[in-house]
Amino acid sequence: MFFKSSDIHAELTRLKLARGDNIIVHSSVFPFFKLDGLKPMDIPVILYNILRSIIGNEGTIIVPTFNFSFCDGVHYDPITTKSHNMGGFAEYIRLLPNAQRSKHPMQSVAAIGPLADYICAPDTQTSFGIDSSFDRILKINAIGLLLGISIKSFSLIHLAEEQIGVPYRYFKRFSGTYGPNNLNKTYSMYVRDEKLNPQIKIEKIAKILQQEGFIKSSTIGNAEISLFKANNFISIAKRMLKQDKSFLII
């Protein structure tokens, strides 16, 4: 069943995405391949134009642009290093002329809009600590928007895990060359303990979001769309992890 870009616009509007909203978008373009008359390479452009037409120039769009090659000693440059397995829409945003990218070599975000500089300015040891880029995403009361992808991919869960201190992760330091001047820099990441092999079940948070009325969801063709306040997501995640630090893996 084919659908049109106007269907996506109408559905996002129905879900109450609005002018001036700041959004952190996790996406997969594959479920949108049935957009009528479009080539796959056109889809990120269409999605961006839809989002910008709804939130206006007042809103900021943020996407994850993770790349873990720095962990293996590969040189990292925030300007030229591609994101890895983050999807075509994230790469499209990263490459826009006015986009900014945060500093962390493993867990960065790209942002475009009035708050892009504010979001991407921190150069913190970890991506999810106090006053990190992800912490600032909460401070601007951003909306989590899932396009064609489930909540299992929502990266802000790592902020709750790190700030609460879960037993299946630990801090690990990585060093390497960084940026156009080949600086030697060291960053930390709250990595998964492979001996424990934890299987994270973020859908448990989605269930509570649903029960408490904090998430709005829809489907267009094969594409799932969900919208929720990032602060509501984190509030629930922290609440549950404070009760049981293994909540997400049980």
For residue 247, the 8-state DSSP code is G
Per-residue buried b or exposed e for 100-117, using 16+ beta carbons within 10 Å of the residue's own CB:
bbbbbbbbbbbbbbebbe
Mean pLDDT, to the nearest integer, of 169-177?
A: 98
Number of domains in the chain: 1
Residues contacting 6, CB < 8 A, separation 6+ = none
Whether 151 and 202 have beta carbons less than 8 Å apart is answered as yes
Mean pLDDT, to the nearest integer, of 104-121?
A: 98
Percentage of the chain beyond pLDDT 70 is: 98
Assign 223 a pLDDT band (cuts: 50, 70, 90): confident
Domain extent, residue 226, equals: 5-249
pTM across the whole model = 0.96
pLDDT at 36 (0 to 100): 67
Mean pLDDT, to the nearest integer, of 141-167?
A: 96
Residue 166 pLDDT greater than 80, yes or no: yes
Assign 30 a pLDDT band (cuts: 50, 70, 90): confident
C-alpha closest to that of 2 among 38, 27, 29, 44: 38
Query: Three-state SS for 29?
Result: coil
Assign 220 a pLDDT band (cuts: 50, 70, 90): confident
Among 33-37, 148-152, 229-233, which range has the highest average pLDDT?
229-233
pLDDT at 32 (0 to 100): 80
What does pLDDT average to over the chain? 95
Residue 191: how many other CB atoms lie within 10 Å: 14
Q: Is 6 exposed, middle or buried (0-12, 13-18, 19+ CB in 10 A)?
A: exposed
Mean pLDDT, to the nearest integer, of 117-136?
A: 97
Residue that wins the pLDDT comparison between 40 and 249 = 249
For residue 183, what are the CA distances in angstroms to 40, 77, 179, 186, 188? 38, 10, 7, 10, 16
Residue 1 pLDDT greater than 60, yes or no: no
